[in-house]
Structures are given as C-alpha cells and as structure tokens.
C-alpha cells in the first residue's frame, strides 16, 4: 500500500470531529502529548483531555493547544440525575426547564 493510499484510508476511518485524550501521562511523556494534540489539530479534530487533576496539567494542555478538559480538577463524577438537577439550577429565563 502506498503512503497516499494509507493516508486516504486513515481519513475515511476517522470521520471524527473531536478526539478524547486520556491525560494520565507522566511529565517525561510531554512530547507524546504534544504530538497527539498536534496530530489531532492537523486533522481538524478538537481534543478533549480526560483525567485532568491538577492546575499544572490544565496549564500544560492549554499551552499546547488543548482547550477542553474534564476531570477531578473541575468536578467529581456524579449520577446523571444529579448532573441534570445541577444544570436545571443554573438555567435561567427562557433556557430553563
């Protein structure tokens, strides 16, 4: 298979709009994270980092082009009903339930 055919096959296999990056990587793996973020960016994908637990991790991701994060730094996991109730309390005006 030629490299052009491989790239075309990869494009067809990745009809994605975003990519989730599990961020539980050690400091010495920073080059790998930067490469993954760069590759996703080059493919036109948004990157969501999962497992962000510290401000240092969030800051590193922000500096390297990953601007969507989730993890214990922001909130602990909750059952869907609790999440929906929290959203309902935040909604005001015409956007409420």
Active site residues: 50
Contact 51, 71 (CB under 8 A): yes
Cα separation, 50 vs 82, in Å, equals 20
């Amino acid at each position: 298979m030629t490299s052009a055919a491989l790239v075309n096959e990869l494009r067809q296999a990745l009809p994605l709009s975003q990519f989730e990056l599990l961020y539980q990587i050690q400091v010495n793996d920073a080059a790998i994270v930067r490469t993954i973020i760069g590759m996703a960016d080059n493919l036109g994908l948004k990157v969501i980092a999962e497992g962000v637990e510290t401000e240092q991790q969030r800051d590193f991701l922000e500096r390297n082009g990953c601007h969507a994060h989730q993890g214990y730094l922001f909130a602990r996991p909750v059952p869907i009903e609790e999440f929906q109730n929290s959203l309902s309390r935040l909604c005001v005006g015409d956007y409420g339930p």
